[in-house]
Amino acid sequence: MKKFTVFSGFLGSGKTTAMMALTQYYTEHFAKAAMISNDLGHGVNLADNRFAQLSGCNASEMTEECICYQNEALAERLNSYYDSGCELIMSDIPGFGVGALEHVYHGLTAKFPGQFELAPFTVMTEPRIVELLRGGTAGDLEYIYDTQLEEADLIVLNKCDLISDGKKAEYAAWLSEHYLHARIICISALRGEGMEELSLALKNGKASMRRPDIGYGGNAFMNAMGQMSEYYLQYHATVCCNDFDGTAYLRSIAEKVRDDARDAGREVPHLKLLAWEPEGDFGKVDLIGTDRDIEVNHDFARPCTQIAVVINASAVCPAEELDSILTQAVKGISNEYQLELIVYKTECFGMGG
């Protein structure tokens, strides 16, 4: 079997966490699986991909642009995974992206007819997004939240560990009433719950290949995309003292970004901070909104002396302002920790063009 599925869904909804859990679960229970992280930064080292690899997942990345516009490179990557014995491959798309149903599923089918078995087009969502959509309070980003779900054959309501069973049933019912073509599955990717149902839905299910009109490139699309900016930073840090706590350092940067963005009236749907040392010990910290607590997703086991750091952010903020908030936070906190930095790559751009 040569199954492929796209995982769409908004920033921070849990695509990477779910792909990591599913890659491992599927490999243990069904057949070898692999995951691809896709984002827009130029060059290598997405935080998502490094995190998945450091966690032991069969993972790789595709960068530069959405896989929507890389049908040939994607087909080549899929074939090399199938040649190595994989039977299920999943790739995400950038978290504010829409249109992958047309660009990836229909694109691959038109260019490589019969080569790939497309599993249901999968869209991750979470309780907070359902609440915003239900309440009509999603603002300018409503187009993205709603359109992503419109494209779904399979909607995965993630983070069910955060809500009661009653709420879970209520949200699932709301989703199935509003997105009539989609099947709904409830999971907690973080706890690994729901992986069997999700595995079977992808293994046995088929893409509908629907072509919903999503107004791609229209006013609502341009307005939503025009608000978003992306930030990518990679550096190496040398530590002065032998009690350096890498996780506390990442957390301090995340707190400063959160506070500065909130004071400026900006929103940061996802900031990822990952650091690792030469022997493979690592720390991972996430911020998924300026009204949220910082989430530590992996803790350094020991103090370290040399670290590589990757920071990726997606924000509802003009690019120059996001660049300045992030640059100041990294500089200021690194000074406090007396780190010496060698910066390899820094990039910040708005999605409005």
Ligand X SMILES: Nc1nc2c(ncn2[C@@H]2O[C@H](COP(=O)(O)OP(=O)(O)OP(=O)(O)O)[C@@H](O)[C@H]2O)c(=O)[nH]1
Stretch that binds Mg ion, among 40-48, 160-168, 235-243, 250-258 (CB under 5 A): 40-48
Contact assessment for residue 15 and residue 35, using Cβ atoms and an 8 Å cutoff: no
Concatenating the DSSP letter of every residue in 85-120 gives T-SEEEEE--TT---HIIIIIIHHHHHSTTT-EEPP
Residue whose token pair is 């990477």: 16
Stretch that binds Mg ion, among 7-15, 65-73, 147-155, 260-268 (CB under 5 A): 7-15
- Residue-wise over 156-172: b if at least 16 C-beta within 10 A, else e? bbbbbeebeeeebeebb
Judged by CB under 6 A, the residue of 5, 91, 188, 227 near ligand X is 188
Assess 270 for contact with ligand X (CB under 6 A): yes
Stretch that binds ligand X, among 10-18, 165-173, 215-223, 249-257 (CB under 6 A): 10-18
How do strand 295-298 and strand 282-287 relate by DSSP bridges? antiparallel
347 binds, among Mg ion, ligand X, none (CB under 5 to 8 A by kind): none
Q: Which one, 251 or 339, has the nearer CB to ligand X?
A: 251
Stretch that binds Mg ion, among 8-16, 115-123, 129-137, 231-239 (CB under 5 A): 8-16
Beta partners for residue 233, in sequence order: 311, 346
Assess 41 for contact with ligand X (CB under 6 A): no
Assess 286 for contact with ligand X (CB under 6 A): yes
What does the alpha-carbon distance between residue 78 and residue 116 come to, in Å, rounded to a whole number?
9
Q: Which one, 132 or 341, has the nearer CB to ligand X?
A: 132
Assess 263 for contact with ligand X (CB under 6 A): no
What does the alpha-carbon distance between residue 310 and residue 312 come to, in Å, rounded to a whole number?
7
What the block records as the tokens of 94 is 């950038």
- Number of residues lying near ligand X (CB under 6 A): 23
Residue whose token pair is 């779900």: 149
Assess 70 for contact with Mg ion (CB under 5 A): no
Q: Which one, 67 or 288, has the nearer CB to ligand X?
A: 288
What the block records as the tokens of 274 is 């990952």
Assess 95 for contact with ligand X (CB under 6 A): yes
Sign of the CA dihedral running 125, 126, 130, 132:
negative
Q: Which one, 7 or 81, has the nearer CB to Mg ion?
A: 7
Stretch that binds ligand X, among 14-22, 203-211, 316-324, 328-336 (CB under 6 A): 14-22
Judged by CB under 5 A, the residue of 3, 7, 24, 48 near Mg ion is 48
Stretch that binds ligand X, among 183-191, 201-209, 233-241, 254-262 (CB under 6 A): 183-191
Q: Which one, 148 or 334, has the nearer CB to Mg ion?
A: 148
User: What x-and-dash track marks residues 319-338 binding Mg ion by CB under 5 A?
Assistant: --------------------
Helix axes 15-29, 195-204, angle to 10 degrees: 80
Judged by CB under 5 A, the residue of 5, 8, 13, 16 near Mg ion is 16
Nearest to 251 by CA among 317, 343, 333, 327: 333
What does the alpha-carbon distance between residue 215 and residue 304 come to, in Å, rounded to a whole number?
50
Assess 346 for contact with ligand X (CB under 6 A): no
Judged by CB under 6 A, the residue of 13, 23, 38, 70 near ligand X is 13
Distances (CA, A) of 169 to 130, 200, 213, 273: 12, 21, 29, 34
Q: Under the rule (CB under 6 A), what is the footprint of ligand X?
A: 9, 11-17, 48, 95, 158-159, 161-162, 188-190, 270, 286, 288, 295, 297, 314
